[in-house]
Amino acid sequence: MRKKIRVGVLYGGRSGEHDVSLASAASVIKALDRSKYEVVSIGISREGHWYAAAHSVKSPAEVFKKANRVIPSADPSEPGLKPLGPARGRGKIGVDIVFPVLHGTFGEDGTVQGLLELATIPYVGAGVLGSAVGMDKDVMKRLFRDAGLPVVEWVVVLRDEWERESARVRKLIEKEIGYPLFVKPANLGSSVGISKVHNRRELAPALALAASYDRKIIVEKALDAREIECAVLGNDRPEASAPGEVVSVNEFYDYEAKYVKEGSRLIIPAKLTAKQTRTVREVAVRAFRSTDCAGLARVDFLLDRPSGKLFLNEINTLPGFTPISMYPKLWEASGLAYPRLLDRLIALGLERHREKKLTRYSYKA
């Protein structure tokens, strides 16, 4: 009998997207084929404590109540999770590959990926650089622009600048961007901390909200646009899915429209011309490569209604995996069912790890 692959599903974290991560993890854990995989639930609490359960848990949140505290090892000679507290000394919990289902800061931004790299543990998804770039909307947009990809106008405001020179910052924003506009934390996802600003009165509260989540704030032009999304899968030879469209129940696809309020619709495939569909898929792959992504990403676009022009909005290196999330739905519509998608992602993570082992890290004359 073939040995099962031991998959550590990693979720939770010290992020504003903690609850979204738990929902995604529940879907992944449920869909993993138990004839192929042995699942280890690994949860990171809101305080940053790690817990692991090699046995089945009823829900991802249960791991924080009933599992043992562990500490991840960055030692490549002893990779795995070492028990703490009363369970200390029982031996480490090992995994063959980690499937991070972490969204936002301290999970999707390269920090966890760096820990796994140090421990030489294979993992699903982008590496340190791709993850960090995918989280920082400013650096991401610069790379898109330098790759010749279309992005909307934006400026960066630092929290300290806004606090010390609010009048100058307001003048800069109104001159360079104008109303309406979007204000976003540079390093966060799930539309947490994002505001659409229609006039000067709304600007200061929006900047204060974004600044509460990040020291770097993105201010970008708001378009009258359709929201188009495309899923990318692969390593060095990525492929793009059929595009989909999000029709938000709110003015834009904010956190409430995504996870709280009913009424938002996902249209798959998006109602685009054949030429528009080709362009979306081609640009999605180019965006994936320009940010050094691997494994998976969801690429989000804005299709400007008045001009018909397509703009890149952002790339998400660890998109949502809930039953209503766009990434798995796009691949399902493209002929790849959810369980097979997970198989492919795990295979890509192991493939990338094998490829890295070909790299020499010490110099020999």
Tell me: the pLDDT tens digits for 83-109?
886 665 567 889 999 999 998 888 889
Specify the range with the lowest mean pLDDT, choosing from 261-270, 301-310, 347-356. Answer: 261-270
Instruction: Reply yes or no on whether 316 is catalytic.
Output: yes
Greatest CA separation for the chain: 69
- Return the closest-CA partner of residue 107 out of 15, 193, 45: 15
d(CA 325, CA 231): 11
* Residue 41 and residue 166 in one domain: no
Catalytic residue, chosen from 17, 109, 220, 245, is 17
Residue 87 burial (CB count, 10 A) = 15
Any catalytic annotation for residue 363? no
* Active site (annotated) includes residue 313: no
Q: Domain with 212 in it: what CATH number?
A: 3.30.1490.20
Whether 251 is catalytic is no
Which one of the listed residues 43, 104, 127, 320 is annotated catalytic? 320
Q: What residue numbers bound the domain in which 9 lies? A: 5-123
Q: Quick check: is 236 catalytic?
A: no
Residue partners of 322: CB distance under 8 A and separation at least 6: 20, 23, 24, 26, 27
Is there a single domain that holds both residue 167 and residue 145? Answer: no
Predicted confidence at residue 55, as pLDDT, reads 75
Check: CB of residue 291 under 8 Å from CB of residue 143: yes
Q: From start to end of the chain, where are the E strands?
A: 5-12, 37-44, 50-53, 68-73, 80-83, 97-100, 154-158, 181-185, 195-197, 216-221, 225-234, 239-240, 244-247, 265-267, 295-304, 310-316
In this predicted structure, the answer to whether residue 243 has a pLDDT above a threshold of 60 is yes
Q: Are residues 253 and 345 in the same domain?
A: yes
- Out of 15, 41, 241, 316, pick the active-site residue: 316
Q: Is 190 a catalytic residue?
A: yes
In terms of domains, do 32 and 114 share one?
yes
Report pTM: 0.91
Catalytic residue among 117, 145, 259, 340: 259
User: In the predicted model, is pLDDT for residue 153 greater than 90?
Assistant: yes
- Yes or no: say if 101 and 24 are a contact pair by the CB < 8 Å rule: yes
Counting the structural domains of the chain, the total is 3
208 with 102, same domain: the answer is no
What is the chain's mean pLDDT, rounded? 91
Told to judge if 320 belongs to the known catalytic residues of this protein, a careful annotator would answer: yes
* Cβ–Cβ < 8 Å for 263, 275: no
Domain end position, chosen among 221, 238, 270 = 221
